[in-house]
Each structure stands twice: as C-alpha cells, then as structure tokens.
Amino acid sequence: MGRGGRIKYFLAVLTCANLAFAAAGCGAGGGVQDENAGSVQTADAETAKTAGESDAVSEQETEPEQAAVQDPQEWAWDAADEQTLRYAFANEFGGRAGVCVPMAALSDAARMEIVKGQFNSVTMENEMKPDSLLGNKPNIGEDGFPVLSFTVPDMMLKEIKAYNDTAGKDGRKIMVRGHVLVWHSQTPEWFFHEEYNVDKPYVDQQTMLARMENYIRQVMEHYEGEDSEYKGMIYAWDVVNEAVNDTDGGMRTDSSWFRVFNNADFVEQAFVYANRYAPAHIKLFYNDYNDTNPKKADGICRLIEQIKANPEARIDGMGMQGHYDMDFSDVLFKQSAKKYAAVVDEIQITELDLKASRGFDGTDMEEEYQKQAEVYQSLYDAVKSLKQEGVPITAIVFWGTDDRHSWLQSANAAGGSADGTRVQCPLLFDKEYEKKPAFWAFVDDSRLEQAE
Ligand code: GLA
C-alpha cells in the first residue's frame, strides 16, 4: 500500500465504532444525542478534525496501525486470556470487566497484577472525586474559580497508560470510568458558599451553576484537551451520583447541591455541561445505589426523563451501583434494569459487591463463600438473560479487588451486616488474593459445581 493509500486506510479505520481512543464523535447517545446536534457538533467537529489530522501525521512517521477495536465481541484473544473476567464478560454479554482501585494499590504489586490480569475497566476509588480534585482548602485562581489538582489520579492513569502500551490485545487494555463529577458527598462544603467560606451563606443558583460548569470544564480539558497525555483513556463519566432518595424516589434533600437549588435543575445542568465539554465517545452516566428498589428506580427514570427533555443535555447510561447483599433478588434486578433500559442506551453495574449474610460471624468462611458464589451466579445469569432480551449491560465493575481491601470491612454507612464489626467477604479474591468460588461463578461455573 502506498503512502496515500495507507493514510486513507488509517482514516477509514477511524470509524465510529473505533473512536474511543481517537476522541472524535459520531453521535453516541442515540436519540438524545441527535436532538443535541447543535451544541455537540461545534466542539466535536473540531476534535474530529484535529484527531484525524494528528493521527494522519503520526501515521506518516510510523507503520500503519489498526485503530483500537472497542466492541468487546470483536476482540481477539489467546489462550492466556481464557480464565479471566474480561474474556468471560466480553464473550458472554459483550461488556467490560471493571474494578475500583485506590492509589494505595499502586504500591502493591500483587494487587496490580489482579487488576492488569483480569480487568479492562478501572474506576478510581476516591481520587477523581470532587474532594480529591478541589482539596480540603480552597485554592482560588485569578478567574475566581477553584484550581483543580490532578496529581494524585494522574499517577494511576500514568500506570495504566504504561500498562496499555504493553498489553497487546485490545481486550486487555484498561479504560477508565471517571467517577464522579457532581455528588453531595465527598465534595468540600466550602464549594457551595459565598467566597468559598463555610461561615458565609450558600451562593445563589447562578453562581453555583458557574462553579459547576467551570469544574466540569477543567476536568474535561485536563483529560481530553488537545495536549492531554490521557486523551481517550476515559470512556465513561458518572456525571451525577446519588441524587434520588430511597423513600419515594424524589430528590435527596440532605445535600448541599439540593439546598442551593431546591429542585432537580442542578442534575439536568450537570448533564448539559458534561455534554458541552466531553467528547461524544465518553458515555455520560447517572449513578445510584438501592437501584433495584422499584420506587427509587421509577424516581430515577423520572429524573432521567427530565434530563433528556433538555435539548442541550446528553445522558447515555444508568449506573446501577450494585452494592447488594445476600438477599439479592434477580427478579427485582431484572425489573429495574428493564426500566432503566427504557430510558437510556446502556446500563453498567458500577460498584458491585455483596455484604455477608445476616448474622454471619466469620467462622465458616467456606460456607459463606459458597453462598456468595451462588448469589453472584444468579446475578450473572440475570445479566446474560437481559442481554438476550436486548437490555444492553456494557460493564460489570467490582468495588474492589479483594476482601482485605473492601470498604465494607470498616464502619461505614452501608448498614445491614456491614457495621464495621462483622467480617465481610464481598469480592472475588480473598484476603490472600486467591480466587474464591465467586470468581468461578463468573469465569467457569462448572468449577463452582465441582466445589459444591
Ligand atoms: C458510593 C460511591 C462510591 C463509594 C461507595 C462506598 O457508592 O459512589 O464512590 O464511595 O459509596 O465506598
């Protein structure tokens, strides 16, 4: 192939399906996106042009390179991949296998081996949250807005990038779920107050919207800007987390976001700004827990409808956090997933773990492991049957690599059996990083039956 032919070939493979690394947009988000054409196009047309140009330039210097394949069902594998979560998920329901990692995992080689050996999606446990980027004390720039600090999450992104360069097969490359832009928790209180001073009143709504827009713009520029070394690594953002209450599906009121607005407008606006600044290949999610509660699911769907009614907003997906327990109901799970699928294009299980059985005292771990594997198996069967019914679940993300490091081990607000005093075993690898029966529930359930 001559040079001209090679350039054409390269540009041709930069198709819509292959764009996640190229940061261009061909209208992800289906109907919602189409309505947005006006606001999205300007930014995207520019990005598409620049991405095409710079790729063509670098292609002239190097051999033609096949653009990354982003459809899990198209990934090529070899024997080394076979007993991995990412291989199983790609083949069995066409989704990514994800895990949350904190910074501390970076200095734990064995833990990073699990991440790199099993998964192709990573969510930072805390490091991309507003309190991490904004810091404890306000650092205000000349423009009057907080200056964000990305030093901590970027250490993890550098590690992932270096791994991706050597990973070889597309299905082994790790993409990042951005978590989270707008949340009532883990956001410094000063962010909501006049002069960034908690002793002053809350700011008015216009000021708060300007702060929100500036925050989202800074995040997107840092990760997707023309010169960003991380461009294309993030494939989804949780734009808003946990805005709906657990009782009647209305708005959560114990939130400084809500106190400033007194309605759901801040949620809608967050999706307007995310759409304005994120390239179209980044999927924009609403994320929440108690996601199988029918009233809450209905409330979330109402909120999503409000977002969709705004022509400047875009929402692509629903993140079912999936902090479940041993009373997990696959029936309720499927019912809720179908409700979400009626209003968004895709669903991800974004923070999956299982609290131990009620009354579990930590003595018979093997029995609890077995029970847990069965619950995970029923969840996985539900995911696969939803897929058959056309409900697109595009990732299952576990909230941690191993039982030693689960947030459920310490006192927290999770309730139920996770009160900080009871042993928990919520994940797929045990405290010694060994595979548990729950791992085989996903990867090869014939081994699970043998273990019974
Ligand atoms: C919520 C958040 C997560 C995490 C968990 C608990 O689900 O979305 O980021 O904080 O709580 O660890």
Q: Does the Cβ of 269 fall within 6 Å of ligand 1?
A: no
Whole-angstrom Cα distance, residue 399 to residue 20?
24
| Mean pLDDT split into 10-residue runs, the chain, 452 residues | 36 36 32 30 34 41 66 94 97 98 96 98 98 98 98 97 96 98 98 98 98 98 97 98 97 98 98 98 98 98 98 98 97 98 98 94 94 98 97 98 94 70 93 98 87 50
- pLDDT in the model for residue 9: 35
Ligand 1: which residue has its CA nearest to atom 4?
A: 125
Atom of ligand 1 nearest to the CA of 179: 9
Which of the residues 242, 268, 346, 368 is marked catalytic? 242
Q: Does the Cβ of 407 fall within 6 Å of ligand 1?
A: yes
How many angstroms separate the alpha carbon of residue 218 from the centre of ligand 1? 23
Q: Does the Cβ of 321 fall within 6 Å of ligand 1?
A: yes
Sign of CA dihedral 46, 47, 48, 51: positive
Atom of ligand 1 nearest to the CA of 241: 8
How many angstroms separate the alpha carbon of residue 399 from the centre of ligand 1? 8
Q: Does the Cβ of 223 fall within 6 Å of ligand 1?
A: no
CA angle 328, 331, 334 (to 5 degrees): 100
SS (H, E, C) the chain: CCHHHHHHHHHHHCCHHHHHHCCCCCCCCHHHHHHCHHHHHHHHHHHHHHHHHHHHHHHHHCCCCCCCCCCHHHCCCCHHHCCCHHHHHHHHHCCEEEEEECHHHHHCHHHHHHHHHHCCEEEECCCCCHHHHHCCCCCECCCCCECCCCHHHHHHHHHHHHHHHHHCCHHHCCEEEEEEEEECCCCCHHHHEHHHCCCCCECCHHHHHHHHHHHHHHHHHHHHCCCCCCCCCEEEEEEEECCECCCCCCECCCCHHHHHHCCCHHHHHHHHHHHHHCCCCCEEEEEECCCCCHHHHHHHHHHHHHHHHCCCCCCCEEEECCEECCCCCHHHHHHHHHHHHCCCCEEEEEEEEECCCCCCCCCCHHHHHHHHHHHHHHHHHHHHHHHHCCCCEEEEEECCCEHHHCHHHCCCCCECCECCCCCCCCCCECCCCCECHHHHHHHCHHHHHHHC
Atom of ligand 1 nearest to the CA of 123: 9
How many angstroms separate the alpha carbon of residue 231 from the centre of ligand 1? 25
How many angstroms separate the alpha carbon of residue 414 from the centre of ligand 1? 10
| Mutational test site, ligand 1, from 296, 351, 406, max ligand atoms within 8 Å of CB | 351
Q: Does the Cβ of 351 fall within 6 Å of ligand 1?
A: yes
- pLDDT in the model for residue 450: 59
Atom of ligand 1 nearest to the CA of 186: 10
- Residue 305 appears among annotated catalytic residues: no
How many angstroms separate the alpha carbon of residue 120 from the centre of ligand 1? 20
How many angstroms separate the alpha carbon of residue 272 from the centre of ligand 1? 24
Q: Does the Cβ of 346 fall within 6 Å of ligand 1?
A: no
How many angstroms separate the alpha carbon of residue 76 from the centre of ligand 1? 33
Q: Does the Cβ of 187 fall within 6 Å of ligand 1?
A: no
Q: Does the Cβ of 417 fall within 6 Å of ligand 1?
A: no
Q: Does the Cβ of 409 fall within 6 Å of ligand 1?
A: no
How many angstroms separate the alpha carbon of residue 208 from the centre of ligand 1? 24
- Residue 92 appears among annotated catalytic residues: no
Which of the residues 125, 159, 346, 351 is marked catalytic? 351
Ligand 1: which residue has its CA nearest to atom 12?
A: 407
pTM of the model: 0.86
Ligand 1: which residue has its CA nearest to atom 6?
A: 407
